Amino acid sequence: MPTALVIGAGIGGLAAAIGLQNAGYHVAVHERAADLKPLGAGLSLWSNAVQALRALNAAARIETEAEPIETMVLATRQGRALLGPRRVTSAEGVSAYLVTRALLQSALQAALGGDAIHLDSELVDVAQDDERATARFADGSTASADLIVIANGIWSPQATALIGNAPRHCGYGGVFALSDPVDHPQSARRVAEYWGDRERFGLCDIGGGRRYWFYIVDQRPGAAAIGHDDCLARASDGWPDGIVQTVAATTADRLIAFDCHARAAPRRLGVGRILCVGDAAHAMEPNLGQGACQAPEDAVALSVAAQRESPEHVVSAVEAMRLKRVRSFVIQSRRGRYGTHAPVMVQHWVRATLSAIPAAIHDRAIGSAHLMPDYR
């Protein structure tokens, strides 16, 4: 039986491990954390990710427990629509969902099975020769396998050393959170984003009247976190109805601050027997909501390659299937910043262009992003 080590038990690592198990590999996942606490707030899982989770046999809980997304809208701070409201069409009968990270993480863990995960196991470095790839851990131990998958997130020094696209600051950051039920009539099953000048709010209905929301603003690296009172004051300053009520329905301890970083579009995904997946390979700006969605797609391509190829050819096979698509998402998600985080003239041009493009063209572009390629 071929063997693989997967480094990191986030969405990317768990999905990759499931894909390899399905391909008949014996897999050990090494996670630095001492336990797998559900971290973070919500995530949009567009239909391409749900198709990928189905292909991994890991979609059932998402499709029964998560809130489907039915409409999306992009509007100005004054509430003028720039894109939509449009129905989120399901690709090949598969819906999109708004999930909590906790649900996605636990669905993936259950699909993998607990025995495969080694906690408190921090990778220090990797090496390889013609026969094997070897990982060295912080406790001094080593492990070898036919294949190593690096899935330890955007800050992975091993991925940077291997494929080179070091993370950089995006010029903005902010807070995100899950609210309690909001005391305000709201559109169910809707994802909305509102653009101001160098700041924006997003509101996503997550079911039961609760919302996953975010506030993003231009900021320097390491800027002080935005507190709840400050966020509430900003939300009260002329944004569309529903935003201030949502912030008010969120306790201060739920706010999660983030400073946005992303990797440049990768030129490769691995070398020899060592493959990078998820944010380690292609951390992107959060402007398309596709960062985590691309990880299950990586896993499907990996699974197909692992079934078809011998271990030393898996990396090049995955690269052939995935590189063009992930590069395109990284590049487009970077462009997505220009509607807000840019000089006002550029913002106006982007917004005018978005409004002028016929709905059919938007639908075609979004439809192809939300359709997982056939990797078989």
Ligand X SMILES: Cc1cc2nc3c(=O)[nH]c(=O)nc-3n(C[C@H](O)[C@H](O)[C@H](O)COP(=O)(O)OP(=O)(O)OC[C@H]3O[C@@H](n4cnc5c(N)ncnc54)[C@H](O)[C@@H]3O)c2cc1C
- The site for ligand X (CB under 6 A) is made up of 7-13, 30-33, 43-44, 122-123, 151-153, 176, 214, 258, 278-280, 286, 289-293, 295
CA gap 335, 329 in Å, rounded: 10
CB 151 within 8 A of CB 218: no
Nearer to ligand X, 12 or 84 (CB): 12
Give the N- to C-terminal CA distance of the chain in Å, as an integer. 22
CB 90 within 8 A of CB 84: no
| Residue 225 beta carbon to ligand X: minimum distance, rounded to whole angstroms | 13
Closest CA to 194 of 228, 237, 230: 237
| Residue 181 beta carbon to ligand X: minimum distance, rounded to whole angstroms | 21
* Phi and psi angles of residue 18, each rounded to the nearest 5 degrees, phi first: -65, -45
Nearer to ligand X, 153 or 167 (CB): 153
Burial 135-163 (b: 16+ CB within 10 A, else e): bebeeeeebebbbbbbbbbbebebbbebb
Nearer to ligand X, 125 or 363 (CB): 125
Strands, sheet with 26-30, edge to edge from the N-terminal-most edge strand: 117-118, 26-30, 3-7, 147-150, 274-276, 270-271
| Residue 330 beta carbon to ligand X: minimum distance, rounded to whole angstroms | 11
Nearer to ligand X, 31 or 319 (CB): 31
CB 260 within 8 A of CB 236: no
Determine the distance from the C-alpha atom of residue 352 to the mean position of all C-alpha atoms in its chain, rounded to a whole number. 28
Q: Which SS3 state, helix, strand or coil, does residue 236 take?
A: coil
CB 264 within 8 A of CB 330: yes
Nearer to ligand X, 119 or 361 (CB): 119
| Residue 360 beta carbon to ligand X: minimum distance, rounded to whole angstroms | 25
| Residue 207 beta carbon to ligand X: minimum distance, rounded to whole angstroms | 15
CA gap 112, 31 in Å, rounded: 14
Nearer to ligand X, 125 or 360 (CB): 125
Nearer to ligand X, 88 or 293 (CB): 293
Task: Give the CA distances from residue 167 to residues 4, 13, 87, in Å, rounded to whole numbers and listed in that order.
Answer: 26, 19, 34
Q: Look up residue 166 and give its two tokens.
A: 């070091």
| Residue 10 beta carbon to ligand X: minimum distance, rounded to whole angstroms | 2
| Residue 172 beta carbon to ligand X: minimum distance, rounded to whole angstroms | 10
| Residue 254 beta carbon to ligand X: minimum distance, rounded to whole angstroms | 14
Nearer to ligand X, 153 or 266 (CB): 153
